Amino acid sequence: MGLSIPGIETEREQTRVNELPTPELAQKLGVWVFYAASLGAFALFVYGQATHGVFEPIVDLIQKRQHVDALYYPAVLWTLMGTVFLIFRTCMWVKYRPFLSVSYNEAPPLTVVIPAYNEGAMVFKSIESVARADYPQGRLEILVVDDGSSDDTWNFICRAANQYPDLVTKIRHTKNLGKREALAKGFARARGEIIVTIDSDSVVEREALLALAGPFRDEHVGAVAGKVSVYNLGQGLIPRMLNVRYALSFDLLRTVESAYENVFCCPGALTAYRAAAVRRVLDAWRQQTFLGVRCTFGEDRALTNFLFAAGYNAVYQRSAVVHTLVPTTYKKLCKMYLRWDRSYVREELRFVQLIGKRPLRIALIALFDRLVTNLRYPLGYASLGLLLFHGVEHPLMFLRMLTAVGFMSLLNMFYYLWREQSTDFLYGVLYSYFSLFALTWIFPYAVVTVRARSWLTR
300 Cβ contact list (under 8 Å, min separation 6): 197, 265, 266, 267, 268, 271
pLDDT at 393 over 90: no
Pairing of strands 313-324, 293-294: unpaired
The predicted structure's pLDDT at residue 71: 59
318-333 per-position pLDDT tens digit? 999 999 999 999 999 9
What number is the average pLDDT over the span 386-403? 74
Q: Which residue has the higher pLDDT, 126 or 393?
A: 126
pLDDT at 27 over 50: no
Q: Which of 89, 72, 94 is nearest to 19 (CA)?
A: 94
Query: How many CB atoms are closer than 10 A to CB 267?
Result: 23
pLDDT at 388 over 80: no
Half-sphere exposure of 211 (CA within 13 A, CB side): 22
Confidence of residue 8 (pLDDT cuts 50, 70, 90): very low
Residue type, 299: E
The predicted structure's pLDDT at residue 330: 97
pLDDT at 10 over 50: no
Residue type, 393: E
The predicted structure's pLDDT at residue 68: 54
314: left (phi over 0), alpha (psi -120 to 50) or beta: beta
pTM for the predicted model, two decimal places: 0.84
The domains located in the chain, with CATH, are 1-458 (3.90.550.10)
The predicted structure's pLDDT at residue 18: 42
Confidence of residue 41 (pLDDT cuts 50, 70, 90): low
Confidence of residue 396 (pLDDT cuts 50, 70, 90): confident
Confidence of residue 91 (pLDDT cuts 50, 70, 90): confident
Q: Report DSSP letters for 305-328, one per residue.
A: HHHHHTT-EEEEEEEEEEEE----
Q: Which residue has the higher pLDDT, 82 or 157?
A: 157
Q: Which residue has the higher pLDDT, 412 or 307?
A: 307
403-430 per-position pLDDT tens digit? 878 888 888 888 888 888 888 999 999 9
111-141 per-position pLDDT tens digit? 999 999 999 999 999 999 999 999 998 999 9
Q: Which residue has the higher pLDDT, 77 or 123?
A: 123
Return mean pLDDT, the chain.
84
Phi, psi (degrees; rounded to nearest 5) at 316? -120, 135
What number is the average pLDDT over the span 236-256? 93
pLDDT at 102 over 80: yes
The predicted structure's pLDDT at residue 16: 43
The predicted structure's pLDDT at residue 293: 87
pLDDT at 9 over 50: no
What number is the average pLDDT over the span 210-227? 97
37 Cβ contact list (under 8 Å, min separation 6): none
Burial (0-12, 13-18, 19+ Cβ within 10 Å), 437 = exposed
What number is the average pLDDT over the span 39-49? 53
Q: Which of 346, 270, 273 is nearest to 312 (CA)?
A: 273
Half-sphere exposure of 430 (CA within 13 A, CB side): 13
